[in-house]
Amino acid sequence: MLIINNYEEFASHVGEVLGVSDWLEVPQERINMFADATLDHQWIHVDPERAKEGPFGQTIVHGYLTLSLLPYLWEQTIQVNNLKMMVNYGMDKMKFGQPVLSGQRIRLVSTLADIANIHGICKAVISFRIDIEDQKKPALTGMATFLYHFN
C-alpha cells in the first residue's frame, strides 16, 4: 500500500500505478441488497432463474454497484495521511467494458494521471480500472477526481 503524507509526496507519483486492490467477490446477496437500496430490481440482476435464459446465462452485477465499490477498493491501494478532509470532486470518461457476473471477483488498479495544487488544495486525477478475475476486458474504466485538504 502506498502511503502519502503531503502534496509533494503525492506529486512524485504522477504517471505511476498507485496500487492494486485485493480481489473482491460480488455474490448474489450483495446484488440483492444493492437492488433494494436503489429500487432497481431488474430481473437481469435479481432473478437467477429467469437470468439463466438471458444473454449472460446468470444474473449480473449492477454497473452502479461495481462503481460504488470504488471507495472500498481505493482504501486498499493508498493511505493518505495528514488530511483535514477528502472530497470526491467528480468522475469522467467512465465506460462499462463488460458485465460482472454474480459470484465473480473484481479488483481495482489505480494510476495517478494528474495532480495540481490549487490554493493549497491537492486536486488529484486518478485513472482507474476495475478488472474481473480471469477476464481480459475490464468491468469499468474512468477518471476520478479527488480534492485532498492536507493539514
Could you tell me the residue ranges of all domains in the chain?
2-150
Q: Distance (Å, rounded) from C-alpha 128 to C-alpha 6?
A: 21
Domain 2-150 has CATH 3.30.70.20: no
Burial of 9 by CB count in 10 Å (0-12 exposed, 13-18 middle, 19+ buried)?
Answer: middle
- Supply the mean pLDDT for the chain: 96
CA nearest neighbour of 25 among 71, 57, 73:
73
Q: What pLDDT score was predicted for residue 132? A: 98
Q: What pLDDT score was predicted for residue 1? A: 87
Q: What pLDDT score was predicted for residue 3? A: 94
Residue 43's pLDDT band (boundaries 50, 70, 90)? very high
Residue 138's pLDDT band (boundaries 50, 70, 90)? very high
CB–CB of 134/127 below 8 Å? Answer: no
What pLDDT digit, counting tens, does each position of 56-73 carry?
A: 999 999 999 999 999 999
Residue 27: is its pLDDT beyond 90?
yes
